[in-house]
Amino acid sequence: MIKITLKAARVNANLTQQEVADKLKVSKHTIMNWEKGITKVGYSQLKHLSEIYSIDVKHLFLG
């Protein structure tokens, strides 16, 4: 199975960190930390990210 990073998924969806943050009602800093692996994404937020990026949750790499 192919895994894609959160950043790559966002870029492929043609979205900025701020746009994603606005959709999830979190700060841009939160999105940045998730993409860098500094903080972990909660399951409900991960599910929303997969919907925003049009990618199945199981294909997102959170390493």
- Residue 16: name the closest of 52, 42, 51 by CA: 52
List the CATH code of the domain at 4-61: 1.10.260.40
The per-residue pLDDT for 47 is 95
Q: What is the pLDDT of residues 2-53, one digit of tens each?
A: 778 999 999 999 999 999 999 999 999 999 999 999 999 999 999 999 999 9
Q: Are 62 and 9 in contact (CB under 8 A)?
A: no
Q: What is the pLDDT at residue 63?
A: 67
- Taking the whole predicted model, whether its pTM rises above 0.85 is answered as yes
